[in-house]
């Protein structure tokens, strides 16, 4: 992850450029974008770039647009970040990787404001946040759960890092959670997708819409 | 029958939860006046969970699965239709579960 953020220019944008020198770019990528409001043109621009680098399978683009819009919206709503959020994307081999992150409150801290979640560790809370219906007081916990389902159908992966926790979501496996060294002051979500997989995301009919 | 034209009444870039609130207000007003409502999505591909959840999902908590009997969706993109159906079914299911939980607690 460090090299990816380094390549994307994240450390420079938060004033730590001296400690993390950018490497020579080797991959087709979208440079880091700083997002302060939910702007669909950013998402559409990112998707257009990625589609140029690697044509999408039919039906994939709406699912990807939905996932990105939802991630950006979630960041805008839940992070309490005063500095906005950052996003970047790249094509690497047959995959495209997207990353969104903020330096806000973080998922574990947000969930711990609710009594019933107070005793759980950070990885467990991140996993809970990706389940349908789990959200802080508002009942808005659909975003990550839908993205998680989409990524699974596409045969991709999602990794969420927040606070001291990291959870990896992979197809056909249970989520794997662990603690990271140190603390990430916010939330970072990494999606890795195979754009040539059919991955058609027919909600409510997932059993019939597996990857081909 | 009341009619809502999304592009005309909400604009081209309909993605956020705030847009969803405006849509919900339009739907509530229309349902107060009429038994059924037609929502015309011509020329739109929305693909936003937040928008549909705030509008249709919130109303599904009140009306349950019947919501999509009262509201006819016209010219809607197939992906958006799948998304709306999924959200309405999920919110209706959750609301029913909550109601049953409260009844059994009495």
Among A47, A60, A64, A73, most B C-beta atoms within 10 A, so best to mutate, is A73
Give the domain extent around B53.
2-99
CA dihedral A9, A74, A147, A86 (to 10 degrees): -10
How many Å apart are CA A29 and CA A12, to the nearest integer?
17
Buried/exposed code over A190-209 (b: 16+ C-beta within 10 A; e: otherwise): bbbbbbebbbbbbbeeeeeb
- What is the pLDDT, as a whole number, of residue B43? 94
Q: B13: pLDDT confidence band, cut at 50, 70 and 90?
A: confident
Per the domain annotation, does B90 fall within a domain? yes
User: How many domains does the structure of chain B reveal?
Assistant: 1
Q: Do A205 and B16 touch (CB under 8 A)?
A: no
User: In the predicted model, what is the mean pLDDT of residues B42-61?
Assistant: 93
How many Å apart are CA A35 and CA B73, to the nearest integer?
33
Give the E-state strand segments of A49-169 in sequence order.
85-92, 95-102, 157-169
CB nearest A70 (choices: B49, B79, B94):
B49
* Per-domain boundaries in chain A: 25-201
Per the domain annotation, does B60 fall within a domain? yes
Which positions of chain A have pLDDT values less than 70? 1-9, 16-31, 36-41, 78-79, 132-142, 197-212
Structure tokens at B19: 């847009």
Give the E-state strand segments of chain A in sequence order.
28-35, 85-92, 95-102, 157-169, 176-193
- What is the pLDDT, as a whole number, of residue A204? 46
By three-state DSSP, how is residue B41 classified? coil
Are A193 and A179 in contact, with CB atoms under 8 Å apart?
Answer: no
Of residues A203 and B33, more confidence is placed in: B33
In chain B, what residues touch A132 (CB-CB under 8 Å)? 90
ipTM of model: 0.81
The CA distances from residue A177 to A19, A30, A123, A127, A168, in Å, are 28, 29, 5, 8, 6
In chain A, what residues touch B82 (CB-CB under 8 Å)? 202-205
* CATH of the structural domain A25-201, one choice from 3.30.565.10, 3.40.50.300, 2.40.160.60, 3.40.30.10: 3.30.565.10
- What is the pLDDT, as a whole number, of residue B86? 86
Are A170 and A194 in contact, with CB atoms under 8 Å apart?
Answer: no
Q: At what angle do helices A60-78 and B78-105 cross, to 10 degrees?
A: 50
What are the tens digits of pLDDT across the range A106-151?
A: 899 988 888 888 999 999 999 998 886 666 544 445 678 878 887 8
In chain A, the residue whose alpha carbon lies closest to the alpha carbon of B50 is A70
Chain-centre distance for alpha carbon A156: 12
Per the domain annotation, does B106 fall within a domain? no
CB nearest A73 (choices: B50, B77, B86):
B50
Of residues A212 and B88, more confidence is placed in: B88
């Amino acid at each position: 992850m460090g090299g990816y953020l380094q390549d994307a220019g994240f450390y420079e944008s938060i004033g730590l450029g001296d400690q993390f020198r950018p490497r020579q770019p080797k991959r087709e990528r979208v440079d880091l974008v700083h997002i302060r409001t939910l702007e669909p043109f950013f998402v559409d621009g990112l998707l257009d770039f990625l589609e140029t680098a690697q044509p999408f399978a039919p039906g994939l683009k709406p699912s990807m647009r939905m996932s990105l819009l939802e991630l950006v919206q979630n960041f805008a709503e839940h992070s309490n970040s005063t500095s906005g959020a950052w996003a970047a994307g790249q094509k690497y081999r047959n995959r495209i990787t997207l990353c969104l992150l903020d330096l806000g409150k973080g998922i574990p801290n947000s969930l711990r404001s609710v009594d019933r979640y107070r005793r759980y560790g950070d990885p467990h809370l991140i996993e809970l946040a990706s389940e349908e219906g789990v959200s802080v007081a508002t009942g808005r916990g659909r975003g990550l759960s839908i993205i998680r389902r989409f990524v699974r159908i596409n045969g991709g992966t999602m990794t969420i890092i927040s606070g001291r926790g990291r959870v990896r979501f992979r197809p056909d496996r249970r989520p794997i959670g662990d603690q990271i060294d140190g603390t990430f002051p916010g939330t970072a979500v990494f999606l890795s997708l195979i754009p040539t997989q059919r991955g058609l995301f027919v909600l409510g009919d997932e059993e019939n819409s597996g990857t081909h | 029958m009341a009619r809502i034209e999304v592009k005309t009444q909400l604009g081209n870039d309909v993605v956020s939860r705030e847009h969803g609130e405006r849509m919900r207000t339009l739907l509530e007003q229309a349902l107060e006046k009429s038994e059924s409502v037609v929502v015309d999505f011509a020329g739109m591909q929305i693909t936003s969970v937040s928008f549909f959840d705030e509008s249709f999902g919130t109303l599904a908590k009140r009306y349950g699965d019947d919501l999509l009997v009262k509201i006819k969706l016209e010219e809607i993109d197939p992906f958006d239709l799948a998304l709306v159906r999924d959200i309405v079914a999920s919110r209706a299911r959750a609301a029913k579960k909550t109601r049953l939980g409260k009844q059994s607690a009495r």
